[in-house]
Structure 1
Amino acid sequence: MTVALVTGATGFLGRYVKRELIRRGMKAVALCRSPGSADVLLSRTPTRHELRVILDKVRPSLIFHLAGLTRSDVPEDIYQANVVLAVHLLEAALSLDRPPTVVLVGSAAEYGRSTHRDCIVRETDPCMPLSLYGISKLTQTHHGLAAHARGLPVVVARLFNPIGAGAPRTTALGNFVSQLAATSRPGRTLRTGPLNAVRDFLDAADAARVLIDLAETPGAVGQVVNVCTGIGNTVQHLVDRLMRVADRPVAHEIEVERHGTSDLDIIIGDTTRLRKLGIVIPPPDVDAILCQMLAAARSETGQVAL
């Protein structure tokens, strides 16, 4: 049986990856900080030696590195979570007699603004990230490619915008869904920032499937691969659909002083490299996903649809 180690397995995307691994008949070992959910429990950022001990015990053929931090006011925390942990993991994997294939999950935030008129970003484009998060993820990418040059099978999966049940409130759509799920009273108001940004949204379940497909595709090793649909949607479109699938009329108020989804107006991924590897991601079924997100969020808050 193939053994796969998943860091951040209790996070949003980690849960989807673990579920898909199990569905494919693999043994998924969760490495995380949540007691009761972890097969291997961490209390802090582990050292290279501590991770080597864990890898010696688990003996994974595949490692999916999803652990990280998207936001923090403390730069040191971002770098500990997104860079130092990855470096320790890569070094530990390199020290094994039979190094596993490592899938590093990157981010579209590594690109910064597109230099193309169509705003489609390609893996060969220069990366000029605008946020601390994007900079830290690009640094992780550099360490991953350097580890590959030293003999470790590494795939950098540059992930765009996954959506699905369980999306954290730190994401724009997760926040909007949480607002609607928090109350069942009439006259609800959804408060957002500006919604003109265009993003390449994909179903989180499809994202998980593609991460595993990339791990099993020899041609992906040593490459950065966009994990995206190649199709852009405005955040406004998703909010319109969210209000449409809600059980009661919802007022919408745009608070100009609130931050929008990001400093980037438009970012869409190029799918050429992904398609050359034989992998295609379909456009997300937005209404179905939003219904699932609302149901999951209401379950957490104890609310019911009226």
Structure 2
Amino acid sequence: MRVLITGASGFCGRHLISYLESQDVEIYTLGTKPASQRHYSLTDPADVSTLADTLKTIQPNYIFHLAGVASSSNPTLFYQINIVYAATLLHALEITGDRDCPVLLVGTSAEYGMVSAEQVPIHEETPAHPYSHYGISKLSQTLMGLALSGQGRPLVMVRPFNIIGPGMPGYLSIQSFVNQIARISQGQQLPIIEVGNLNSSRDFIDINEVVKIYWQLIRTPLAYGQIINVCSGQGTVMEDLLLKLVKLANIDVKIQIDPARFKPVDVPVHYGSVKKLESLLGYSPQTNLESVLQSILSDINASP
């Protein structure tokens, strides 16, 4: 069984590879790095010819499209990568004549945009009104997937909420907390953690749970053609999460609000419904928040 992963060097990609290595599969990756054994190079996300040739060579049984841009000062990149790359991949599959290979397209809960307190937990049927380039571009990818699913392609459109675990991107608030805690523990920073808005509530889910869910969904025909929330179904206030981190790190700190860290637009309460996911998996996703926070702290402390 052959699996192709785009965006394999990213946060989710690395953890997905680690998980799939315990399964009986051959893992192939696609990205901008020079080609090597089982890694294929694609420097231009619009190069459908090269991508089609790559697919013909690998003949994957499953494709995970994890590649994407979540944070950038260049708005154009969101659309060049998040829309064009997905369109190129799906067009390349069409060129190869392979209409049976399931593809999992990774979207984001940012596709929902601003939601009211009455709209949580957020269901897949909740109207999508994204306000960020990230959310808008990923919604476009999802709509593309829905259109092709209607033509019989086995596509799964997932909307993960706040994925956490070792190796998270540095632009995320929780990683900023962890980095500051590590510097304080090492005597490299005064015992002051600078933060933005701590009143918002978010739905955190363990990366190890996420990659397991991805693997199950892509092999579940009932999931094809559907938008599926990947979440814990519970909201955690950012201040509570920070206090848990501080307690686990066993340090005395002062928490200081920095207005510069506030986002221009911030949804107060944002957590998803797991009902559809539970119906497809047959169980409820579990995230032990303290356990995953401890693993994040251990990972950053072990880093040189």
Same fold by TM-score greater than 0.5: yes
How far the C-alpha of 1:93 sits from its partner, in A, is: 1.6
User: Which whole-Å CA distance do the structure 2 matches of 1:71 and 1:5 have between them?
Assistant: 24
Deviates further, 263-272 or 145-154: 145-154
User: Which whole-Å CA distance do the structure 1 matches of 2:169 and 2:225 have between them?
Assistant: 30
Query: After superposition, where does 1:132-281 map in structure 2 within 5 Å?
Result: 132-183=133-184, 184-185=186-187, 187-260=190-263, 263-281=266-284
User: Which whole-Å CA distance do the structure 1 matches of 2:280 and 2:191 have between them?
Assistant: 46
Aligned letter for 2:276? R
> Structure 1: which 4+ aligned runs deviate by more than 3 Å?
34-38, 279-283
| Percent identity over paired residues | 33
User: Which whole-Å CA distance do the structure 2 matches of 1:178 and 1:58 have between them?
Assistant: 39
Aligned letter for 1:22? E
What's the secondary structure of 1:127's corresponding residue?
coil
Show CA shifts across 1:167-222 (max 9, x none): 01111111211222235017422111011111111000001010111001110000
User: Which whole-Å CA distance do the structure 2 matches of 1:231 and 1:148 have between them?
Assistant: 30
Aligned partners of 2:46 and 2:84 also within 8 Å = no
How far the C-alpha of 1:248 sits from its partner, in A, is: 2.7
Aligned partners of 2:202 and 2:270 also within 8 Å = yes
Query: After superposition, where does 1:21-60 map in structure 2 within 5 Å?
Result: 21-34=20-33, 39-60=39-60
Q: Structure 2: which 5+ runs fail to align?
A: none
1:293 aligns with 2:273: no
User: Which whole-Å CA distance do the structure 2 matches of 1:127 and 1:56 have between them?
Assistant: 36
Aligned letter for 1:28? I
1:90 maps to 90
User: Which whole-Å CA distance do the structure 2 matches of 1:102 and 1:264 have between them?
Assistant: 30
Aligned letter for 1:84? V
User: Which whole-Å CA distance do the structure 2 matches of 1:190 and 1:20 have between them?
Assistant: 34
User: Which whole-Å CA distance do the structure 2 matches of 1:240 and 1:257 have between them?
Assistant: 21
Report the TM-score when normalising by structure 2.
0.92
User: Which whole-Å CA distance do the structure 2 matches of 1:248 and 1:153 have between them?
Assistant: 50
User: Which whole-Å CA distance do the structure 2 matches of 1:211 and 1:55 have between them?
Assistant: 21
How far the C-alpha of 1:257 sits from its partner, in A, is: 3.3
Query: After superposition, where does 1:69-148 map in structure 2 within 5 Å?
Result: 69-99=69-99, 100-115=101-116, 117=118, 119-148=120-149
Q: Structure 1: which 5+ runs fail to align?
A: none
Show CA shifts across 1:120-169 (max 9, x none): 11111210011111000000101111122233210001111110000011
- Tell me the matched-pair count: 300
